[in-house]
């Protein structure tokens, strides 16, 4: 099949590469000409402008947007006047599912199909394949199956599944899911599933980070601690005499453990290369999906304490808890706390 890929960042470029490896034709466009040139050298057809891209694509044209969620609205505004009835637009980024519903309705009035594809796999997806969570009109999704089948891990296994019409019956759903892609439902369903996927990811990341942090400080009993009325003393230092190699622990957990995962493998690799994590500031961003997951849980009245705590931990990592912590310190001092290092410079009442 022929496809136009708009957005050649780390994900978009590799999606195009993987599609080409499986025999599909890619016309590529990006605001950075160097990104276009790089893929042209690998067999893609470069387009310096949207007009040029549209002229190179055969009707019905398939266009895959792989841009940040914040840039989708502007990208669609540029693209929409150039589209014709029957064209298909795929949003493979991390858009909010409610935006998908609105966008599909707006484009639908012009006879243009809109498909939302939650895409997971990161920069390892080129080699490993991607996990695709798909929403939109089912017949259009079936038409696009050769593209989806090329992108997922099942494409590189001996038991490669031929397109079967996902969503038609239960065994087809299961077959495609085992291959790595799934039709999740109408417009927005793919990004809704990806939204929760990323919320779960927040929780998994937080669990690994917290567990390994406890292991890191398991040698606290070997350290000297001055008596301080403001700090609860360590009653049994003899219980905390361990110095662990965290990279080795993360690695051993990857083999036969119930908490093994690809993510844990990344943790092991990072710790092996940089045991003190000196390269990293500790500032953890959130791109929206974690917030939207918690909002959905609130709307559904479904408890999600782990996902919520993981989201708030990210806020804290960016210094957004500093004022609250300062206020806690001030309150503690106000009702009789001893002066700490920071409070010693604070003005005192006569």
Residue 163 sits in the same domain as residue 219: no
The mean per-residue pLDDT over the stretch 204-233 comes to: 89
Residue 37 sits in the same domain as residue 97: yes
The mean per-residue pLDDT over the stretch 27-53 comes to: 96
Q: What is the total count of domains within the chain? A: 2
Domain end position, chosen among 120, 153, 186: 186
In a domain, 334, yes or no: no
Residue 175 sits in the same domain as residue 241: no
Identified catalytic residue from 137, 138, 178, 201:
201
Domain end position, chosen among 157, 186, 215: 186
pTM over 0.85: yes
Catalytic site residue 194? yes
Kindly report the three-state secondary structure assignment for every residue of the chain.
CEEEEECCCHHHHHHHHHHHHCCCEEEEECCCHHHHHHHHCCCCEECCCHHHHHHHCCCCCEEEECCCHHHHHHHHHHHHHHCCCCCEEEECCCCCHHHHHHHHHHHHCCCCEEEEEEEECHHHHHHHCCEEEEECCHHHHHHCHHHHHHHCHHHHCCCCCCCCCCCCCHHHHHHHHHHCEEEEECCCHHHHHHHHHHHHHHHHHHHHHHHHHHHHCCCHHHCCCCCCCCCCCCCCHHHCCCCCCHHHHHHHHCCCCCCCCHHHHHHHHHHHHCCCCCCCCCCCCCCCHHHHHHHHHHHHCCCCHHHHHHHHHHHHHCCCCHHHHHHHHHHHHHCCCCCCCCHHHCCCCC
In a domain, 326, yes or no: no
Residue 285 sits in the same domain as residue 164: no
Catalytic site residue 52? no
List the domain range (segments joined by +) for residue 289.
Answer: 193-321
Average model confidence (pLDDT) for the chain?
A: 90
Predicted local confidence at residue 337, as pLDDT: 67
77 compared with 159, residue with greater pLDDT:
77
Query: pLDDT of 284-339, one tens digit each?
Result: 988 889 999 999 999 999 999 999 999 999 999 999 999 999 888 888 888 876 65
Report the CATH number at residue 208.
1.10.1040.10
In a domain, 331, yes or no: no
Residue 65 sits in the same domain as residue 138: yes
Query: pLDDT of 159-172, one tens digit each?
Result: 333 444 444 444 56
pLDDT tops 70 at residue 269: yes
pLDDT tops 70 at residue 158: no
Residue 178 sits in the same domain as residue 247: no
The mean per-residue pLDDT over the stretch 57-75 comes to: 95
Residue 203 sits in the same domain as residue 159: no
In a domain, 337, yes or no: no
In a domain, 339, yes or no: no
Predicted local confidence at residue 339, as pLDDT: 59
In a domain, 346, yes or no: no
Would you place residue 156 in the very low, low, confident or very high pLDDT band (cuts 50, 70, 90)? Answer: low
């Amino acid at each position: 099949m022929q496809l136009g890929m708009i957005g050649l960042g780390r994900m978009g470029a590799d999606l195009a590469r993987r599609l080409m490896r499986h025999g599909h034709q890619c016309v590529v466009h990006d605001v950075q000409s160097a990104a276009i040139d790089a893929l042209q050298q690998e067999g893609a057809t470069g387009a310096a402008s949207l007009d040029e891209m549209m002229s190179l694509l055969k009707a019905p044209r398939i266009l895959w947007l792989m841009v940040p969620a914040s840039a989708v609205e502007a990208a669609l505004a540029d693209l929409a006047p150039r589209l014709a009835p029957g064209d298909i637009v795929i949003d493979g980024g991390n858009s909010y599912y409610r935006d998908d519903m609105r966008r599909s309705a707006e484009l639908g009035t012009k006879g243009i199909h809109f498909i939302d594809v939650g895409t997971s796999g990161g920069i390892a997806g080129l080699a490993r394949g991607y996990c695709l969570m798909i929403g939109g009109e089912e017949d259009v999704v079936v038409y696009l199956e050769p593209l989806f089948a090329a992108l997922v891990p099942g494409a590189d296994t001996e038991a490669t599944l031929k397109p079967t019409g996902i969503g038609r019956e239960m065994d087809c759903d299961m077959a495609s899911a085992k291959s790595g892609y799934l039709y999740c439902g109408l417009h927005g369903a793919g990004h809704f599933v990806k939204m929760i996927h990323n919320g779960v990811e927040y929780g998994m990341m937080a669990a690994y980070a917290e567990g390994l942090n406890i292991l890191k400080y398991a040698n606290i009993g070997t350290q000297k601690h001055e008596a301080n009325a403001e700090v609860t003393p360590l009653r049994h230092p003899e219980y905390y005499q361990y110095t662990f190699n965290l990279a080795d622990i993360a690695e051993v957990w990857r083999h036969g453990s119930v908490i093994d995962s690809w993510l844990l493998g990344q943790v092991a690799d990072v710790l092996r290369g940089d045991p003190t994590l000196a390269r990293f500031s500790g500032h953890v961003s959130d791109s929206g999906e974690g917030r939207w997951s918690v909002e959905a849980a609130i709307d559904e009245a479904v408890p999600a304490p782990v996902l919520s705590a993981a989201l708030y931990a990210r806020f804290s990592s960016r210094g957004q808890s500093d004022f609250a912590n300062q206020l806690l310190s001030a309150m503690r001092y106000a009702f009789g706390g001893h002066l700490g290092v920071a409070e010693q410079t604070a003005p005192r009442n006569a």
